[in-house]
Amino acid sequence: MLIDTYGRVATDLRVSLTDRCNLRCTYCMPEEGLQWLAKPDLLTDDEIVRLIDIAVTSLGIEEVRFTGGEPLLRPGLVGIVERVAALDARPQMSLTTNGIGLKRTAAALKQAGLDRVNVSLDTLRPDVFKTLTRRDRHKDVIEGLYAARDAGLTPVKVNSVLMPGLNDDEAPDLLAWAVEHDYELRFIEQMPLDAQHGWKRDGMITAGDILASLRTRFELTAEGEEKRGSAPAERWLVDGGPHVVGVIASVTRPFCAACDRTRLTADGQVRTCLFAQEETDLRAALRSGAPDEEIARIWRLAMWGKKAGAGLDDPTFVQPDRPMSAIGG
């Protein structure tokens, strides 16, 4: 079991498979990209599968989410999914992606054992997409979403970040589109995970702003905390259901008290939180020949020291040195 001093138990593992990405989203990284990890620093496919095996058989992990960077850039992704699906204690598996490579991989991922996907899409307008991501790939993302739905990687969740002056007027249109195509839309408040450290609390589109915009066109009924559990998204029924919309208010309505996550970076570090200032090295233990029991012990110790919360709305908050592309979403 992965328990911390506040009594929270981690059952959800986020695994970053690469720090690389084929987009350059303005809220994540600079236009020229970043200094990528050297290949020897990355966990190998065998090391990833071994750590997931330890997590699900010895540490109580029930769900695994593959992230990046962009996880579809990982050459061995389908094989990793297939091997994790074959574990005796098979976890639920999902993947967070920008959707660009989904059209060609969705069917293979489903066959390998992936359960569902989260796809990032911030706008329905190709010109705004190009401005936000610095790439002209909007059509590829839309086709990837269709392919995921058709392959049965459901529920397909669409993650959207609203940015002032760019797409902050699109919330109702995005929800109408998601309802039409049977996707579950989730808005995420912009978080301070950009490599440029340009994030500012003032001017951010908040959960309150998003809900007010949605209510100009839809009737929203809160599902309530009982249904939410440890999920990061507060959810509302749209016009009485069955469709729902979620808002992940990491900054203005933090949910740290219910957090059930542990994170593994692409270079084998345990992070107790996206905003943690410290990491614990599992890669060194793996490569020095440590047995599974020792690796599990190190992981438990790391999680025991997890802090109470991130404090994103605190003026003394210090942004992590690693950008989002290096630690997974």
On whether 256 is known to bind a ligand per the annotation, the reply is yes
On whether 157 is known to bind a ligand per the annotation, the reply is yes
- CA-to-CA distance for 172 and 113, rounded, in angstroms? 34
On whether 152 is known to bind a ligand per the annotation, the reply is no
On whether 65 is known to bind a ligand per the annotation, the reply is yes
Instruction: Count CA within 13 A, CB hemisphere, residue 46.
Output: 2
- CA-to-CA distance for 20 and 23, rounded, in angstroms? 9
Strands annotated E in 89-175:
92-97, 116-120, 157-160
Closest Cα partner for 262 from 298, 235, 313?
298
On whether 25 is known to bind a ligand per the annotation, the reply is yes
Q: Which residues contact 133 (CB under 8 A, 6 or more apart)?
A: 23, 24, 25, 26, 98
On whether 263 is known to bind a ligand per the annotation, the reply is yes
On whether 261 is known to bind a ligand per the annotation, the reply is yes
On whether 28 is known to bind a ligand per the annotation, the reply is yes
On whether 27 is known to bind a ligand per the annotation, the reply is yes
- CA-to-CA distance for 182 and 157, rounded, in angstroms? 9
On whether 69 is known to bind a ligand per the annotation, the reply is yes
- CA-to-CA distance for 59 and 100, rounded, in angstroms? 33
- CA-to-CA distance for 263 and 290, rounded, in angstroms? 20
Q: Which residues sit in the known binding site for S-adenosyl-L-methionine?
A: 27, 69, 120, 191
Q: Which residues sit in the known binding site for [4Fe-4S] cluster?
A: 21, 25, 28, 256, 259, 273
Q: Which residues sit in the known binding site for GTP?
A: 14, 65, 96, 157, 261-263
Q: Which residues sit in the known binding site?
A: 14, 21, 25, 27-28, 65, 69, 96, 120, 157, 191, 256, 259, 261-263, 273
